[in-house]
Protein backbone atom coordinates (compact mmCIF):
# COMPACT_ATOMS: atom_id res chain seq x y z
CA UNK A 1 0.00 0.00 0.00
CA UNK A 2 2.86 2.38 0.74
CA UNK A 3 4.23 1.83 -2.77
CA UNK A 4 0.85 2.64 -4.33
CA UNK A 5 0.81 5.80 -2.21
CA UNK A 6 4.26 6.81 -3.39
CA UNK A 7 3.26 6.46 -7.05
CA UNK A 8 0.10 8.50 -6.51
CA UNK A 9 2.16 11.21 -4.78
CA UNK A 10 4.74 11.21 -7.57
CA UNK A 11 1.98 11.65 -10.13
CA UNK A 12 0.61 14.59 -8.14
CA UNK A 13 4.01 16.09 -7.35
CA UNK A 14 4.06 18.87 -9.93
CA UNK A 15 0.42 19.96 -9.59
CA UNK A 16 0.57 19.89 -5.77
CA UNK A 17 4.19 21.11 -5.32
CA UNK A 18 5.25 17.92 -3.53
CA UNK A 19 8.95 17.56 -2.92
CA UNK A 20 10.97 14.37 -2.54
CA UNK A 21 10.98 14.69 1.25
CA UNK A 22 7.17 14.76 1.40
CA UNK A 23 6.88 11.77 -0.93
CA UNK A 24 9.44 9.76 1.03
CA UNK A 25 7.84 10.68 4.37
CA UNK A 26 4.47 9.59 2.98
CA UNK A 27 5.97 6.30 1.82
CA UNK A 28 7.60 5.64 5.20
CA UNK A 29 4.54 6.64 7.26
CA UNK A 30 1.91 4.86 5.15
CA UNK A 31 2.34 1.42 6.75
CA UNK A 32 1.30 2.91 10.10
CA UNK A 33 -2.08 4.15 8.83
CA UNK A 34 -3.98 1.40 10.70
CA UNK A 35 -1.83 1.31 13.86
CA UNK A 36 -4.95 2.02 15.93
CA UNK A 37 -6.33 -1.38 15.00
CA UNK A 38 -4.13 -2.90 17.70
CA UNK A 39 -6.76 -1.59 20.12
CA UNK A 40 -9.64 -3.29 18.27
CA UNK A 41 -10.64 -6.73 19.59
CA UNK A 42 -9.65 -9.63 17.31
CA UNK A 43 -13.24 -10.90 17.31
CA UNK A 44 -14.09 -7.74 15.33
CA UNK A 45 -10.87 -7.41 13.33
CA UNK A 46 -10.85 -11.01 12.16
CA UNK A 47 -14.60 -11.54 11.84
CA UNK A 48 -15.27 -13.48 8.64
CA UNK A 49 -18.69 -11.93 8.02
CA UNK A 50 -20.25 -8.52 7.90
CA UNK A 51 -19.82 -6.34 11.00
CA UNK A 52 -22.84 -5.35 13.06
CA UNK A 53 -23.51 -1.63 13.55
CA UNK A 54 -21.98 -1.83 17.03
CA UNK A 55 -18.90 -3.65 15.72
CA UNK A 56 -18.48 -1.13 12.92
CA UNK A 57 -18.75 1.72 15.43
CA UNK A 58 -15.94 0.11 17.42
CA UNK A 59 -13.87 -0.43 14.26
CA UNK A 60 -14.20 3.24 13.34
CA UNK A 61 -12.46 4.16 16.60
CA UNK A 62 -9.16 2.84 15.23
CA UNK A 63 -8.39 6.27 13.77
CA UNK A 64 -8.70 7.91 17.18
CA UNK A 65 -6.81 5.10 18.89
CA UNK A 66 -4.10 5.48 16.28
CA UNK A 67 -3.95 9.26 16.72
CA UNK A 68 -3.47 8.79 20.47
CA UNK A 69 -0.73 6.19 19.94
CA UNK A 70 1.11 8.43 17.48
CA UNK A 71 0.82 11.52 19.68
CA UNK A 72 2.25 9.63 22.67
CA UNK A 73 5.03 8.02 20.63
CA UNK A 74 6.11 11.29 19.03
CA UNK A 75 6.08 13.03 22.43
CA UNK A 76 7.95 10.22 24.18
CA UNK A 77 10.61 10.24 21.48
CA UNK A 78 10.63 14.06 21.43
CA UNK A 79 10.22 14.15 17.66
CA UNK A 80 6.93 16.03 17.34
CA UNK A 81 8.59 18.69 15.19
CA UNK A 82 10.22 16.40 12.63
CA UNK A 83 9.16 16.76 8.98
CA UNK A 84 7.24 13.49 8.98
CA UNK A 85 5.37 14.03 12.27
CA UNK A 86 2.40 15.94 10.84
CA UNK A 87 2.25 13.66 7.81
CA UNK A 88 2.11 10.61 10.08
CA UNK A 89 -0.54 12.19 12.29
CA UNK A 90 -2.68 13.14 9.29
CA UNK A 91 -2.39 9.70 7.70
CA UNK A 92 -3.32 7.85 10.88
CA UNK A 93 -6.19 10.12 11.93
CA UNK A 94 -7.76 11.16 8.61
CA UNK A 95 -7.35 8.22 6.20
CA UNK A 96 -11.07 7.36 6.41
CA UNK A 97 -12.34 10.82 5.54
CA UNK A 98 -14.37 10.94 2.33
CA UNK A 99 -14.14 13.66 -0.30
CA UNK A 100 -17.88 14.38 0.14
CA UNK A 101 -17.65 14.73 3.93
CA UNK A 102 -19.32 11.43 4.75
CA UNK A 103 -16.24 9.79 6.27
CA UNK A 104 -14.84 9.66 9.78
CA UNK A 105 -13.70 10.70 12.32
CA UNK A 106 -14.30 14.40 11.54
CA UNK A 107 -16.51 14.39 8.44
CA UNK A 108 -13.97 16.58 6.69
CA UNK A 109 -14.61 17.23 3.00
CA UNK A 110 -12.61 18.02 -0.10
CA UNK A 111 -9.38 19.90 0.37
CA UNK A 112 -10.02 20.19 4.11
CA UNK A 113 -8.75 16.60 4.25
CA UNK A 114 -4.94 16.65 4.30
CA UNK A 115 -3.52 15.56 0.95
CA UNK A 116 -1.51 12.73 2.49
CA UNK A 117 -4.71 11.25 3.94
CA UNK A 118 -6.49 11.57 0.57
CA UNK A 119 -3.62 9.74 -1.12
CA UNK A 120 -3.59 6.99 1.52
CA UNK A 121 -7.39 6.65 1.24
CA UNK A 122 -7.15 5.72 -2.44
CA UNK A 123 -4.08 3.49 -2.06
CA UNK A 124 -5.55 1.71 0.97
CA UNK A 125 -8.89 1.01 -0.69
CA UNK A 126 -7.22 -0.21 -3.88
CA UNK A 127 -4.99 -2.51 -1.82
CA UNK A 128 -7.90 -3.77 0.29
CA UNK A 129 -10.08 -4.45 -2.74
CA UNK A 130 -7.36 -6.34 -4.62
CA UNK A 131 -6.36 -8.39 -1.57
CA UNK A 132 -8.10 -11.41 -0.12
CA UNK A 133 -9.50 -10.86 3.36
CA UNK A 134 -11.18 -13.23 5.86
CA UNK A 135 -14.52 -11.73 4.81
CA UNK A 136 -14.05 -11.42 1.00
CA UNK A 137 -12.26 -12.59 -2.13
CA UNK A 138 -9.82 -10.32 -3.91
CA UNK A 139 -11.19 -8.12 -6.67
CA UNK A 140 -9.45 -7.85 -10.03
CA UNK A 141 -7.34 -4.77 -10.77
CA UNK A 142 -9.89 -3.55 -13.28
CA UNK A 143 -12.78 -3.99 -10.83
CA UNK A 144 -10.90 -2.04 -8.17
CA UNK A 145 -10.02 0.79 -10.58
CA UNK A 146 -13.63 0.94 -11.81
CA UNK A 147 -14.81 1.23 -8.20
CA UNK A 148 -12.35 4.06 -7.51
CA UNK A 149 -13.55 5.87 -10.63
CA UNK A 150 -17.22 5.32 -9.75
CA UNK A 151 -16.64 6.83 -6.30
CA UNK A 152 -14.35 9.63 -7.48
CA UNK A 153 -15.73 12.92 -6.17
CA UNK A 154 -17.78 11.12 -3.54
CA UNK A 155 -15.48 8.92 -1.45
CA UNK A 156 -12.21 9.83 -3.12
CA UNK A 157 -10.31 12.90 -4.27
CA UNK A 158 -10.73 12.90 -8.07
CA UNK A 159 -7.08 13.82 -8.63
CA UNK A 160 -5.90 10.92 -6.47
CA UNK A 161 -8.14 8.55 -8.42
CA UNK A 162 -6.82 9.97 -11.70
CA UNK A 163 -3.31 9.31 -10.42
CA UNK A 164 -4.16 5.73 -9.42
CA UNK A 165 -5.63 5.03 -12.86
CA UNK A 166 -2.59 6.58 -14.54
CA UNK A 167 -0.35 4.36 -12.38
CA UNK A 168 -2.31 1.16 -13.06
CA UNK A 169 0.61 -0.59 -14.75
CA UNK A 170 2.91 0.30 -11.86
CA UNK A 171 0.27 -0.98 -9.43
CA UNK A 172 0.15 -4.26 -11.35
CA UNK A 173 3.93 -4.63 -11.00
CA UNK A 174 3.73 -3.93 -7.27
CA UNK A 175 0.93 -6.45 -6.77
CA UNK A 176 2.89 -9.10 -8.65
CA UNK A 177 6.14 -8.38 -6.80
CA UNK A 178 4.57 -8.41 -3.35
CA UNK A 179 1.99 -11.13 -3.86
CA UNK A 180 1.50 -13.53 -0.94
CA UNK A 181 1.17 -16.43 -3.34
CATH annotation of 2-177: 1.10.3210.10
Task: Provide the CA 19 distance to its chain's centre, in angstroms.
Answer: 20
Q: pTM of the entire structure? A: 0.94
Please check the confidence at residue 180 and state whether its pLDDT lies above 70.
Answer: no
C-alpha 134 chain-centroid distance: 19
DSSP character at residue 181:
-
The terminus-to-terminus CA distance of the chain in angstroms comes to 17
What confidence category does residue 134 fall into, taking pLDDT thresholds of 50, 70 and 90?
A: confident
pLDDT in tens, 2-19: 999 999 999 999 999 999
pLDDT of residue 158: 98
Q: What is the mean pLDDT of the chain?
A: 95
Amino acid sequence: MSRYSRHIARYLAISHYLDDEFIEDLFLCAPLHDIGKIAIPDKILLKPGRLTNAEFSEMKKHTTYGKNIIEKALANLQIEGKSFSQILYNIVFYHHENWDGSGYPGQLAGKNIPLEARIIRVADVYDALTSERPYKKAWSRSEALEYLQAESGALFDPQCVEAAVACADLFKTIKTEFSDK
